[in-house]
Structure 1
């Protein structure tokens, strides 16, 4: 049950934070499947990273929740940076494959800088820790 609860919590957290990012970045008009894609990554991280590590005390569950949030954030940033790198590579903006691979990290850092708003950081940190506690509670209650 903890896997399901963590997956749902992280999918919701990713959806909410994605909406916050959309609000603070009005210069981009086309977002496509940004929120559903991020929610899918949140769901997978909740299921595979957080859900299988629970059955601990609530303080440790908060730590696991924070770790899960960091993992979800990493994979979301990596996926979007990789996607952007592919688009740039297809437009022949790189001189070679090494430059393309290095650009993934540069783009990821740029995307992470867009998250440096207090309300987004607070939502990520508190949402991740709360998701860990909720998943632990659900696991104790229904397992």
Structure 2
């Protein structure tokens, strides 16, 4: 059911996904083709905010901060997984894998590489600050419009 908290969570995580995506671009090699990187991450932020954070609103300030942190962790995990799967498909189309199992394992190897590339202090600070703000905005929306 649509609520103000779900809408606020979706919008706040979409904005955070936009900001974080902008921070990731300089961390990748110059030859990286980003394609649908930004729109995919924004849509992912909308979906995670709506489904994960929005339904858990209304439990207090401490729970709101935890809700924001959980939402951002889910967002990062899904984003890395989808981008790694996309990279695996790109490599598979160039016949880099001998069998399907090798390609599936490569998703997690590529995801680990991407995770290490973006594991920087500015990213960590942006994640934590964005998570806290998103959680508090979602809680405010729940208290205001529910």
Structure 2 gap ranges (5+):
none
Q: CA deviation at 1:33?
A: 2.4
Q: Provide the TM-score with structure 2 as the length reference.
A: 0.93
Aligned runs of 1:1-143 on 2, under 5 Å?
Answer: 1-25=4-28, 27-28=30-31, 30-143=33-146
Question: 1:14-46 CA distances to partner (integer Å, 9 max, x unpaired)?
Answer: 000000111233513532221121011011000
For residues 109 and 27 of structure 2, the distance between their equivalents in structure 1, rounded to whole angstroms, comes to 21
Question: 1:50-69 CA distances to partner (integer Å, 9 max, x unpaired)?
Answer: 10011110111100110010
Paired positions, count: 143
Compared CA separation, residues 30 and 100, structure 1 to 2 (3 A): closer
Which 4+ residue blocks in structure 1 deviate beyond 2 angstroms? 23-26, 28-33
C-alpha RMSD of the superposition: 1.1
Structure 1 gap ranges (5+):
none
Q: Provide the TM-score with structure 1 as the length reference.
A: 0.95
